[in-house]
Structure 1
Amino acid sequence: MHPTPIIMMSSNNKQEAQVVLVPASGHSHLLSTLEFAKLLVNHDHRITVNLMLISSPIDTKTTSTATNSLLSHYSHRIKVINLPDYTPNLSSDKSDRASLMNALVDFLKPHLREAVSNLTASPSAPPLAAFIVDMFFTQMIEIAKDFGVPALVFYTSGAAFLGMTLHLHTLRVRDNLVAYEWEDSDSELTIPTFANPIPWRNLPSLFMQKQWDSLFMSYASGLKEAHGFIVNTFEELESYPIHSFQHASFPVFPVGPILNLTSTTGDASEDIIKWLDDQPPASVVFLCFGSRGWFHQDQLREIARALQDSEARFLWSMRKPPPEGSMDMPTDYSLPELTELLPHGFLDRTAGVGRVIGWAPQAQVLAHKATGGFVSHCGWNSTLESIYYGVPIAAWPLFAEQQSNAFQLVRELKVAVEISLEFKHGLSFGITPVLSSEKIEKGIRNVLKDAEVRKRMKEMSEKCRGTMKEGGCSYSHLGRFIDYLMDN
C-alpha cells in the first residue's frame, strides 16, 4: 500500500473539498455508489461529489433511471459528468469480461484525466481531496497519482471477501500458492478475515478456476495500490473481519449498509404485493437469484419439485438466460415457455399457494410481512437487503464472491441455512451441476422453521437499522472518513 500523500489546501477554500467518484456501470455497483454519494453530501455540506458516469453497453436503463433521480434532488452538490460512450470491438469475444473491462478502462483514462483537469482548473474551485473508484476500476488509481491525491476503493462487497482477496494474492506472490490447484482438495484454508477455516471448495470461482487467474491477479494487485477502502458493510455484522484490519497500513471505513430501497411502482409490482397481502405472516419463501441469476431446465424442474414437496407458500422469480456467448441481462419467460419448462401441471397444482414471476421488486418483497424466508444467491446487496428487513436466508451461491458470502452467513454469522455452499454456476466456464430437489426442499423447510436462525437474523436486523443513525458505528465511521478527506 502507498502512504497517503499530503495535499495542500488553499486558505480561502479550506472549509470545502471536492471528490471524484468513479462507479462501475453494473446494476448493483452503480446503485450502491450513487447512494454513497448521497450519504456523503447529506452528512457534510462542505463536500461536492463529481460523479464520473460511464454508460453501460449492457444495462443502459439502470444508468439513466438512477442518474435522472439523482440530478432531480442533488444537482447542486453532486455533479454528474458523462464520460464518452464506449463501443466494444464487435469482432472481439463479448463473453470475455476481462478483456472488455481492460479495453473500457484504457479508453476512459484520457477522458477521465481531462475531466478532472477541468474540475481543478479554476482558482475558485474547492481543492480536490480524493479519488474514489469502484473495486473493479483500480487501474484508474494512476490518475489520482497525477493529481497528487489519495485514491480509495469503494468496495461493494463485504470486508471478509476483501481480506480473502488480499490474502490469497499475498500467498500467491510470497509462497507461489496457486488456489486453483486446490480445487478438488478436501483441506481448509485459514484466512485472517474469517473466524473459521474455510474449505478450498467453498472459495469463489474467481480464485478456483484457471481461466480467471489473470483477472484475479490484475484485480488483487490493483487493490493493493489503494490508499484505503470504503466498504459497504457495518461493524456489527462483520466485526471479526473489520477488527482484523486494525493493524493494516491502510484505513478501512465500514459505512454501510448502503442500499437503494426505493419503492418500485408499476402494474407487475402492485400485483405481486397484492398477492403477498393475502398470505399469512412469515409464510412465503421468496426465491430470487439476482440480476444475472438463471438456471437450465433440469435445475428448474428440481426447484419446482422441491417447492411442491415442501408444501410451502412461495414467490419464485425465474429469469430466462441470455443467448449463449452474450453479455446481455436475463429476461422474463412467457407463460407458454414456463408451461413447457416446468414439470407438467406444476403451475396448476401450486396455483393456490405459489406464484412464478419474472423480474421481482426485491426490496418490496423482503419488506413484506408475509415473506418468511429468502432462497438467495447471496450477492452482497441482496444479503444486506435481507438483513435490513430481517428475513433469514437459504444460501445457494452461483458465482462471483457469492460462495464466500454464503459460508460467512451460514458458518460464521449463523443467520442463514445451507442449500449448498459450494455450488458453482457455469456462467462463463464449465458445466453447471444440478442440485437435487431433496437438498433444496430441506433448505426451504429449514429457513422457514429454524427458530435460532430466525432469532439471530432479527437481532442483526435491529443492529443494521441502528448503525447508520447518530451514535451508530457506521455513522461514526462515515464521520471518520470525512475527517480523513478534510485533513487531506
Structure 2
Amino acid sequence: MEKKTCIAMVPCPGQGHLIPLVEFAKTLIHQHNNLHLTLLIPTLGPPTPSIKAILNSLPPNIDFNILPHISIQDLPQNVHPAIHMKLTVTHSLPFLHEALTSLNTRTHLVALIFDVFSSDALHLANQFNILSYVFFTSGALTLSFCLSFPKLDETVSSQFIDSTKTVNVPGSIIPFQVKDLVDLVLYERSSEIYKIYLGLCQKLYFVDGIIVNSFTDMEAEAIRAVQEKTTFVDSPSVYPVGPIIGTGSTSKESQMECIQWLNNQPPKSVLYICFGSGGTITHDNLNEIAFGLELSGQKFLWVLRAPNNSASSSYLMGQMEDHLSYLPSGFLNRTKEQGLVVPSWAPQIEILSHGSTGGFLSHCGWNSTLESVVHSVPMIAWPLFAEQRMNAIVLTDVLKVAVRPKVDDQSSGIVKHEEIARVIKIIMEEEEGLQIRKRIKDLSDAAAVALSEHGSSTRALSILAHKFQNI
C-alpha cells in the first residue's frame, strides 16, 4: 500500500502560536485533502481545557501528539516568556526526534513546519532530509524586521541603545523608533533573550520557506520586500496565506452569557475590551480604563484579567485570582446597565462577528488584529509587548483603521481616563470613527478576496501544497 504524504507541524507553547498553526493546518487540508498532517506539540505543563477541545475537534486528516510535558522548574525563572517558549521546544527535541522517526516509518514524511520559536527543530528536518518551513504568526512587516535584524546587529547595533533613534524597516513607508520595535531587541546585547532572538532571526535564512499569516492588500509593500531578492538576497521563498484566524469557540456554554448580553444591545453600540490570551495592564491603567468607560457613557464588554506591572505576566501561565476585586469601588453597580465584565476569557471570534460590537480596544497582537480586520471592527490600539507596538503604528499611521490614546506619563505608561473616553467616542460616535469604519470594511473585503478561490492567499497555499505533493 502506498504511504500517505505527511507533513509534521511543531508549534510552540502559547495559545496565540498554537491556534494559528492549527487553523492553517485545517485550511491546508480543506483545500488539499490528499495530504495528511500531524501536530507534534511541545508543552509546558498539561494543555488547557480549551486547547484540548480544539485538538479533539480536528478533522480526520489531522492527527496530534502531545509530547511529554517540560517542567517549568527545569527552566530559568523570572525571564521573558519567549525564553520559556524557545527552551520548551529545545528540551522537547528528543521527544520530537522519536515522533518523527515513527512518522517517517509509517508515512511518506515530506516536510516539517514549525513556529519561529520552535526553530531548533530545523536540524531534525535536515537529519530526516525533509523540507523545512517556518510558520510566522506575526505579519509581513515584522518578518521583514526579523530578516533585517542580523545585518542590523552586525552594522549598527549601537543604535538600539538610544530608544529614540529611528530604524527603516524594508517594506515600511514610515520609520520606527527603536522603542517601538520588537521588544526583544531592547535588551542588552549580551543578554540571553537578545541572543535567542538574534539566533531565531538568523535561522530564517536556512529554511526552505516561510509561511506568513498576512495578505497582499494589507501589507503590500512589506510582502513585496520579503518576496523580492533585492533586499534579502539569501532569504527563502515567502508564502502569504492569510488571514488565517480561528473559527470560534467549541464550547457553547462558555459563550452563552456574553452572546446573550450582546443580543440585547443596539447594532454597533458595544466596545469590546481584551488584551489577548495573556496580556496584562497595571492596576493604575485598569482603574483609568474603568473611569474612562464610565465617562464615555458607551456600552462595553470587558474581558478582565488581574493587573500586573509585567505586561506578559500571564502569557504562558494562567491566573486564578478574583479579577473583579481589582475594579474601582462601586464600578460594577454604577455600570450594570452600561456594560458587562467577564473574568479572564471570552469567545472573541463570536464577539467580534456580532452585530452589536462596534469597536475593539486591543493589545494589537497579530491574531487579534487579523480577527478585527476580517470582522470589520475598528480598533483602539493599546500595545503591550512583543511586536505589538509595530502593529499599532501600522494600524494607526499606515492603514488608518485604529486610533491610539496618548500616554500621560511616559515613565509610568499611564493613560488618563479623560483620554480613554476621548478615543472611545472617536471610534463609537464621531465622523473620524465613521471614516475608520469605512477603511476597515474595505480591508475586510480585501481579506475575503485574498481567501477566495482565485485569491492571492489561496494561490500561495496551492503553490506550497504542490511542492509537498510532488516530492
Q: Which residue number corresponds to residue 445 of structure 1?
A: 425
Shift of 1:101: 4.0
CA offset at residue 280 of structure 1?
Answer: 1.4
Structure 1 residue 478 and structure 2 residue 446: aligned?
no
Alignment equivalent of 1:206, drawn from 159, 173, 184: 184
Change beyond 3 A, Cα 1:94–1:465: same
2:49 matched to 1:61?
yes
1:467 paired with 2:450, answer yes
Residues 43 and 414 (structure 1), Cα distance of their counterparts in 2 relative to 1, 3 Å cut: same
Name which of structure 1's ranges 315-324 and 215-224 shifts more when overlaid on structure 2: 315-324
Query: Paired residue for 2:29?
Result: 41
User: 2:337 aligns to what?
Assistant: 352
- RMSD between superposed Cα atoms in Å: 2.6
- Superposed CA offset, 1:432-482 (max 9, x none): 622222332222122223221110001111122232220111111111111
Kindly state the Cα deviation for residue 399 of structure 1 after the two structures are TM-superposed.
Answer: 0.6
Deviation at 1:209, TM superposition (A): 3.0
CA distance, structure 2, for counterparts of residue 131 and residue 423 of structure 1: 46
Give runs of aligned pairs for residues 15-164 of structure 1, distance below 5 A. 17-57=5-45, 59-70=47-58, 73-74=59-60, 77-89=61-73, 92-93=76-77, 95=79, 97=81, 99-121=83-105, 125-126=107-108, 128-164=109-145
What is the CA-CA distance between 1:224 and the residue it aligns to? 2.6
Q: Distance in 2 between matches of 1:81 and 1:21?
A: 10
Question: In the TM superposition, what is the alpha-carbon distance from 1:179 to its structure 2 partner?
Answer: 5.0
Which residues of structure 2 form unaligned runs of 5+?
Answer: 230-234
In structure 2, do the counterparts of structure 1 residues 422 and 81 end up closer, same or farther at CA, with 3 Å as the change threshold? farther
* CA displacement 1:236-284 (0-9 Å, x = unmatched): 2111111112323421111111111224545552222122122111111
**Aligned residues of 1:397 and 1:422 also touching (Cα < 8 A):** no
In structure 2, the residue matched to 1:333 is 322
Q: Give the match for residue 162 of structure 2.
A: 182
Structure 1 stretches lacking a partner, 5+ long: 1-11, 425-430
Larger deviation, residues 244-253 vs 317-326:
317-326
Deviations 1:131-153 (A, max 9, x none): 11111111110111112222110
1:232 and 1:481 map into 2 onto residues whose CA distance is: 14
- Residue 224 of structure 2: which of 243, 248, 251 is its match? 243
Report the CA distance between 1:423 and its aligned residue: 10
Q: Percent identity?
A: 33
What is the SS of the residue equivalent to 1:245? helix
Shift of 1:58: 6.7
Match of 1:221 in 2: 202
- Is the partner of 2:114 in helix, strand or coil? strand
Cross-structure match for 2:232 = none
Cα deviation, 1:38-66, whole Å, max 9, x if unaligned, reads 12222113311122122332753343222
Mapped to 2, the partners of 1:35 and 1:91 lie a distance apart of 29
Partner of 1:277: 263
| Aligned counterparts of 2:412 and 2:254: Cα–Cα separation in 1 | 31
- For these two proteins, the number of residue pairs brought into alignment is 456
Q: Tell me the TM-score normalised to structure 2 length.
A: 0.89
Give me the whole-angstrom Cα distance separating, in 2, the residues matched to 1:413 and 1:390: 13
TM-score computed with the length of structure 1 as normaliser:
0.86
- Give the CA deviation at 1:30: 1.0
- Matched residue, 1:5: none
Q: Distance in 1 between matches of 2:255 and 2:33?
A: 36
Pair 1:215–1:62, CA change in 2 (3 A):
farther
CA gap 1:453/1:334 in 2 versus in 1, 3 angstroms: closer
Looking at structure 2, the residues matched to 451 and 355 of structure 1 have their Cα atoms a distance apart, in angstroms, of 25
Instruction: Name the aligned partner's letter for residue 301 of structure 2.
Output: L
Counterparts of residues 379-418 of structure 1 (less than 5 Å): 379-418=365-404
- Is 2:276 the counterpart of 1:290? yes
* Higher mean C-alpha displacement, 441-450 vs 366-375: 441-450
